[in-house]
Amino acid sequence: MDLLKHGQIQPMQIRAPKMNNDPISKALDVTPMTQTINVPAKTKKIDSDEQFAEVQSNIRNAADVGEIALQELAQIASSSQHPRAYEVVSTLMGQIVNANKQLLEIEKLKLEIEKEKNGGQVEEAKVVNNNLFVGSTAELLEQLKSKKE
């Protein structure tokens, strides 16, 4: 569906300035464009799940880079024993914690939006229990055959 054709989005119009009022064209001794160019506005529908995934990915990447930087800064602070270096380490630690909090808040927001979409119900996570059978293979085959019948 072309939104521009249906009149939902108005194109931007770029018009060249008039020759009389343009000091740049006078100084450069050039003639400005006189035609109108229609530039359609960009429209891209992005799914909210894609947005959440992108935001989560960005925050995770920032936290990962922060953790690497934190390890290096901790080594620098330890070797230099300078108070400012420890201050930088503690500030970076706080920023990493805030990034992790933002991840949790985004997940909570995502669940709230899904709840609104589904009429107040959120899909529960399915629990998978791994069972361990202790016995011989013959006993296992007997139990499987009895379940089929």
Alpha-carbon distances of 83 from 60, 78, 90, 96, rounded to whole Å = 29, 10, 11, 20
CATH topology assigned to domain 48-117? Helix Hairpins (1.10.287)
Q: What are 67's two structure tokens?
A: 């953790």
- Where are the alpha helices (H) located in 81-136, listed in sequence order? 83-117
Q: What is the pLDDT of residues 46-100, one digit of tens each?
A: 677 788 888 889 988 998 999 999 999 999 999 999 999 999 999 999 999 999 9
Alpha-carbon distances of 2 from 24, 125, 137, rounded to whole Å = 38, 39, 64
Q: 88 and 96 in contact (C-beta within 8 Å)? A: no
Q: What is the pLDDT of residues 12-27, one digit of tens each?
A: 555 544 545 777 777 8
| Partners of residue 1 on adjacent β-strands | none
Domain boundaries, given as residue ranges, for the chain: 1-44, 48-117
pTM exceeds 0.75 for this model:
no
